Structure formats: C-alpha cells, structure tokens
Structure 1
Amino acid sequence: MVKLALRTGLRWKVTLAIAGVSALVAVALSLVVHNAARLSMLDNARDVVDGQVQVAQRYYESTGRLMLRAKIDDPALPRPLREAASLGQRATYLQDSGGNPQVWASVPLRNGKILSIHTRFQDRFAILDALDRALIIGSVSVVLGGCALGVLIGGQLSRRLRKAATAARKLADGDSGVRVRDAIGGRVRDETDDLARAVDGMAEALQDRLEAERRVTADIAHELRTPVTGLLTAAELLPPGRPTELVRDRAQAMRTLVEDVLEVARLDGFAERAELQEILLGEFVQRRVGILEPRAQVTVVRDAYVSTDPRRLERILGNLLVNAVKYGKGPYEVTVEGRVVRVRDHGPGFPEELLREGPSRFRTGSEDRAGKGHGLGLTIAAGQARVLGARLTFRNADPRFGGGTGAIAVLWLPETSPTDTGTFPVIQVPD
C-alpha cells in the first residue's frame, strides 16, 4: 500500500494555525456579543413595557379610559400573567420563539380585572441584524488579518530555515567555509539562530575531527611509503621462485594500498586541482579502456568535446573497470553518450549499503560483491569526480526489463569547467 504524504511549507502551517485561532476567537466573541446584546435588549424591553403598563393603570383608574394599546382582560393573555394577577402581582412575560420576541406586561386592577399591554418591538430588535452583520465583517477581517500576519511571520521563519538548509547542504558537499549563522543573516535572535549556531558548532567539530583523521592517515601512509618501497626493492633481489613471487605480490599490494591511502587523504583535503584539457570524450575512452581492460566493450552513442583532466578521468575509468572485473562478471560494457560515461558489468550488482550511502573507504560491502578489498577504489573515483566537477552515481540493473543483473556506474561530466573545489552540477537524468 502506497502512503501519500502531504508536504506543506512552514509558512502555510503557521498561517493556518493563526487563521484557525483567529477564527475561533472571532466566532466566540461574536456569539458572546450577540447574546449579551440580545439579553440586554430583552431586559430593556421588559422594563419599557412594565413602565407603560403602570402609566396605563394610573390613567385608567383616574379617567376610566385606556391608553398605550392597553387591554382589559385580554383573552390572549398568557397563563403565567393570569396567575400573577390572581396573586395581586404586576408581572412581565416574554414570548421568544427565535424571531422577533413578544413582550407582555400585566397589572391587576381594583375592580378585579387585569390590564395588560402586548408589543413586539420589531424595529428595536432589527438592530441585532445590523450588529450581526458588523460582527461577521469584523470576524472575516480578523481572520484575513491573521492570515496576513501568519504569511509574514511564517515567511520570515521559512526563509531563514531554507537558507539554513541550503548552507547545511553546502557543508555536507564539503564547502567548509560556509556558516549557517552567516547564511540566515538578520538581527533576530530566536530558535533558528540557536539552531544555526549549533549546526555551525557541530560542523566545526566534525571538520576538525575529519582533518585530524586525514592528517593521521596521510602521515601513516607517508611513513609507510619508504619502508614499503625498500621492501619491494629487496624483493626484486630475491632468487626466482614461488616464494619470491608471493613476497613481490604482497609487497606490491601493500605499496598500492599506501598510494591509494595517500590519494584519498589528498582528496579529502580538497587541495587537488584539475589540469583541464579539451578532449574528444568518445575517442579518449576508447583508447584508455583498450589499455586498461581490453575485454571491455566500448560503445560511443554520441561523441562530445569536454574540458576535463585526462589523468583524473583515466583514474576514474580504471577504478570503475577494476571494480567491475574484480567483483562483477562479464561482459563488461562502457558506453559514451555525450558527456555521460556508463560502466556496467553483469554480476550481482552493488551492495545496498553503497547504493544508499555511497562508497566508503575500508568498507567492502556484501560477501557476494565485495568480500575482500579495502573499499578505496570507488572512494577514489568519487573523489576524483568531485575534483572534475562531475557527478558519479551508482545503481543496479533491473532484471525486470530484460537486461539481466549487474552494477552500473554513471559518470556525468559537467558542461562547464569545475571550480577550485569542484562542483556538483544539476543534470537532468534522461528517461
């Protein structure tokens, strides 16, 4: 089952939150104001009718005539008022059916009859309609104002976080000069500022640790270079024989390992610079692959001129081919299509760890594909690609499409020359 994830920006989340709170507050206040105004009007209407019935009572008892639409023993008089009159009490009664309320007032007379006044107050309660319209307009205005405030506040916070994310990605790509706090800027001192300072502190600590590890690795490899070279020279002086061949083979393997470790240390220090030349990529790959691995089949779909460092490009091709031959199976295919070079074998494919995290030194991967070795070949290839400003990706062939299994390494060379530290161009992957 595929789960759909709705991705929304922080700006709109803040806006929706403020708008929701504004709407709740506006509705609650509107209801309170409406009910309070209505109760006040009803109480006022009761007082008005009660005053009218008292005036009508005094006028009737003095003149014997009715005024203010007063009635004697009105047959429509509500029962509660009749009961109050039987007790000799003056009373008011409200008939509220949700529309215009009707207000009654009654008073018992000396002759035992009941004088009452009945009114609707339609014009007075029409004010509530105008009040409701004003409350609705005010509520909408409050919600719109809350939305505008949410967009403003959320937009500022979102921009700061996006700048922080961009700076963090640059740090992850190896640009050690970037600082998140400088990237977000501004004079605001809030949680984003604290986060930026924490990320900067973490980046500096990691950078110091990596630099220390790189120096230790480079120093160890440099110190091993002289004795290993001496060992290899001494092995050449041994008499011919199987033991001599084994010693020479192991000494050469150790020398290769030391040279690879030194190369990785130089690449980690971002001190390498590309010596650019204009070359015809397809022709270059055909010549170099023919020397590096004659069994590999080279196909040039479309040739292109590129500005790159031939020595580093050859190093990348060599490491990819060595990896394919060592851990994969034939046939080995190298395809050139414009600025893209693909190296493929038909073995079990790259391990899942490499596909998820990329190549890592001294990690050999699964037993099927990399049960031995030091994991430096692909690490060096990725580092050299960075120096060239290129991008090196890894994937496995999908047998469902009839192409069988195998590991596929794709080198994307940039359209422009790389910067001093190497760039990772954004390249559209063809379908």
Structure 2
Amino acid sequence: MKLALRSGLRWKVSLAIAAVGALVAVALSLVVHNAARVSMLNSARDVMDSRVQIAQRFYESSGGKLMLRAKLDDPALPKPLREAADLGQRATYLQDSGSGAPEVWASVPLRNGKILSIHNRFDDRFDILDDLDRALIIGSVSVVLGGTALGILIGGQLSRRLRKASVAARRLAEGDPDVRVRDAIGGRVRDETDDLARAVDGMAEALRSRLEAERRVTADIAHELRTPVTGLLTAAELLPPGRPTELVRDRAQAMRTLVEDVLEVARLDGFAERAEMQDIELGEFVLRRVRAFLPEARVRVLREAYVSTDPRRLERILGNLLANAAKYGKAPVEVTVEGRVVRVRDHGPGFPEELLREGPSRFRTGSEDRAGQGHGLGLTIAAGQARVLGARLTFRNADPAGPGGGGAIAVLWLPESSPTDTGTFPIIQVPD
C-alpha cells in the first residue's frame, strides 16, 4: 500500500518560492561574505606592508632603532616569510589561528642580514564583518519569509479559483444546466485557470447539446411508436381466446409500457416537469399506496409527518421502488416511514456496484443476479421524479452480517420546503 502525501497548491507554491528564496539568499550571502573578507584581508596586508616599510626607513635612518612594534629576527616569524627574506623579498603573510581575526605579518630583509617584521590583528575590521554577517542573516530570513508570504498570497488566489472551478464542475456533473465554470471563478486576472474554465464550459455545452439531441430523438421515436403500439394492443384484443393471444397481448402491453416509460424519461431529462404541490400525511399516504401496489409488503410508520409534495409523482416513485424490490429482490419487502424519510428494503442480492457508484441509468439493469428482465427505467424514473420534487433518493446495500441479513435499501428524503423549479436538491447515490 502506497502512502500519498496530499497538500494544497497554496503550500506547494509557498514552499517552492521559500526554497528558491532561501537558496538565492544563502548563495548571495556567501558571495558577499567572502568578497568582504577578501577585501578586508587585502586591505590589512596593504596596511602592514606600509607599516613595515615605515619601520624599515626609521630603523635605517635612526641607526638601528625600532618602532611600531617592529622586531628583529622574531622567533615566531612564519616560515614563508623567512624563505621570502632569504630571497631578498618583502612579503606579507596571514596566520589564521582558527579563532578570531587572522594575524597579519609583514617582513623585510635588512642590509645587515637581519629580518625586520611586524604583525597585528585587525579585530575591529572583523567585528564589522560579523555585523555584516548578522545583517545578511536577517536579510536572508526576511527574504524567505517575504517569499513565503508572497507564495501563500499567489497560491491562495490560484487555489481559490481552482476550488471554485471544481465546485462549479461538480454542480455541472450533478445536472445543474445553468452553471458556467468561467463565471464561477470570476476575477479580473486572466491566467491558465480561465483557459481551463472555458474548455470545461465548452465541453459541457457540447455534451449538453449532444444529450439534448439524443433526448429529442428518443422522445420522437417513442412518440412515433405510441400510435402503432396502441393499435397493436387494440388489435390483440380482437383475437380469439387462447394461449397465443395471451402472449401477443402480454408482449403488446409490455411494449406499450416501455414506450410510456421512455417518453417519461425524456420529459424528465428535459427539466421541463413541474410539481403540483399538496399537503399530505406521509405515513397514511404511503400505507395506502403500498397496500395497493404490494399488499404482502410490511409497512411501519415510526414517526408521522405532514409534507408538501406532489402525490402523483410520489406515488410513481413508491410504485417503481416497490416494483424493483419485488422483481429483483426477495421477500420480505419492508417499507419504513420516519418523519420525511421513506425507506424501501428487500432481502435480495442487493443493488449492483455500478448503480451504487454511478446511480440509476436507463437500459442498464445491473448484475446477473438482479438482471435478465426489464430495461433499467424504473429507478431512473424514480430518481427523475425525486429531482422534480426537490427530494433526494439514495441507494445502498444492507450489511449481510447485520440484522435481517443483506438486501437493497432505497431511501427517499423529502425536503422541508417545496422546490421552486425542477428540484432544489441533486440526486446523490451514497453507498453507506
């Protein structure tokens, strides 16, 4: 199992800017420090060279007197200066003890064969270098903090725009036809997020146009089939009694039901349906409808509630859920009313994984255990009618090890307020 560290774009940009700022600050600090140190040491060498020349002239003009802490044949004289004196050269030398400022030596050979030398530490100059280092450290820290703050500001703005685009795209995927990603991100800055938003809007518009064209074709085909199917059903009623006649009537009725379902799905997909709201007592309503649709089902009203809904559409949802449970599940079928929540459960193999993951879809009947008959329109119609009511229809499977064993559970959540258009709540499939 691989562990993935997830962090926001804001912090990634901030860390990148902070890292680059730190590298630049450290590099510049090292360059400035080394340049200042070399300059100070060269200056100290020049000063000591000048001093040893003055000491030499004073020694020669005064008949052997020393000045400026000058010494003759100093036993501590570094070896490189002795070698330079043997060659008759005036020289300077840096002797670094490892602590504090280095000691600067200067020497010059005299005519009498002796070596005049002088040495000194320039602690004051190196105190200035320490002050410079502190200033460089403070400046580097300031640059890193400033870069981090700038990264948080820039990354935060970009992250907000991307989050807005993500929310808008999610609403678009849930079926909101009025969402535009470009309008959702807003702002006056034009960057790559605008290009992404325009691309998503263009793709959504193309998909919407294609789906609308497919919906119209489906509706037109179903509408054109309605008349001949009705004629076929009428003609089947005129056939003489017998087994073949029953088969013809059964298939003609099934075809008529399919055509009506396809037309209903097309109307629901067009977002043109409107609910006609009435106040009803939910528990009593569900009880009467279940007795009419599936008398053998068990009904429990745990808590009664008065709701404002469209009785015809609610009846359609209950009928399709009960028909699905009776056809693909196993007895007993249980219906529970608790306030504004209606649960329909069977004890069969449960909903297929594709339905739990993607929701109901037309002409997809699921796994082999729950398929083999039907066209997958029942739950699609139920979900569409729930959207018109502003309700939320969820699907999940019961735990096989839990009370009552496994089975499929459909839960209808009716809203507290009436929808203002084709539904105020998206259809969500939650595989609890």
Normalising by structure 1, we get a TM-score of 0.96
Give the match for residue 287 of structure 1: 288
Q: How much has 1:400 moved relative to structure 2?
A: 2.9
Q: How much has 1:175 moved relative to structure 2?
A: 2.1
Identify the range of structure 1 (288-297 vs 164-173) with the bigger mean alpha-carbon deviation. Answer: 164-173
Aligned residues: 428
Give the match for residue 104 of structure 2: 103
User: 1:354-374, CA deviations, whole angstroms, 9 ceiling, x for partnerless residues?
Assistant: 111111111121111112210
CA distance in 2, matches of 1:389, 1:242: 46
CA distance in 2, matches of 1:259, 1:89: 114
Q: How much has 1:4 moved relative to structure 2?
A: 4.9
Which amino acid in the other structure matches residue 66 of structure 1? L
Q: How much has 1:402 moved relative to structure 2?
A: 4.2
Matched position secondary structure for 1:286: helix
CA distance in 2, matches of 1:20, 1:311: 64
- Alignment of 1:214 onto 2:215: yes
8 Å Cα contact 1:392/1:409 also seen in 2: yes
8 Å Cα contact 1:105/1:118 also seen in 2: yes
CA distance in 1, matches of 2:287, 2:99: 91
CA distance in 1, matches of 2:277, 2:321: 21
Q: How much has 1:419 moved relative to structure 2?
A: 2.7
User: 1:96-122, CA deviations, whole angstroms, 9 ceiling, x for partnerless residues?
Assistant: 225321111111111111111111111
Give the match for residue 90 of structure 1: 90
CA distance in 2, matches of 1:314, 1:27: 74
Give the match for residue 6 of structure 2: 7
User: 1:12-59, CA deviations, whole angstroms, 9 ceiling, x for partnerless residues?
Assistant: 221121111111111111111111111111111111111111111111
Q: How much has 1:425 moved relative to structure 2?
A: 6.7
Q: How much has 1:315 moved relative to structure 2?
A: 0.8
8 Å Cα contact 1:69/1:117 also seen in 2: yes
CA distance in 2, matches of 1:101, 1:281: 94
Give the match for residue 307 of structure 1: 308
User: 1:104-153, CA deviations, whole angstroms, 9 ceiling, x for partnerless residues?
Assistant: 11111111111111111111101111111111111111112112211221
CA distance in 1, matches of 2:315, 2:24: 69
Which amino acid in the other structure matches residue 313 of structure 2? R
Q: How much has 1:271 moved relative to structure 2?
A: 0.3
- Alignment of 1:326 onto 2:314: no
- Alignment of 1:343 onto 2:355: no
Matched position secondary structure for 1:226: helix
Normalising by structure 2, we get a TM-score of 0.95
Which amino acid in the other structure matches residue 87 of structure 1? L
Spell out the pairing of 1:166-205 with structure 2 (5 A cutoff).
Answer: 166-205=167-206
Q: How much has 1:268 moved relative to structure 2?
A: 0.4
- Alignment of 1:72 onto 2:52: no
CA distance in 1, matches of 2:349, 2:35: 78
CA distance in 1, matches of 2:68, 2:415: 97
Spell out the pairing of 1:41-190 with structure 2 (5 A cutoff).
Answer: 41-63=40-62, 64-96=64-96, 97=98, 99-190=100-191
User: 1:216-254, CA deviations, whole angstroms, 9 ceiling, x for partnerless residues?
Assistant: 000000000111111111111112111111111111100
8 Å Cα contact 1:282/1:336 also seen in 2: yes
CA distance in 1, matches of 2:99, 2:277: 87
Q: How much has 1:267 moved relative to structure 2?
A: 0.4
Which amino acid in the other structure matches residue 323 of structure 1? N
**5+ residue gaps in structure 2?**
none
Matched position secondary structure for 2:360: coil
CA distance in 2, matches of 1:272, 1:378: 17
Which amino acid in the other structure matches residue 74 of structure 1? D
Matched position secondary structure for 2:117: strand
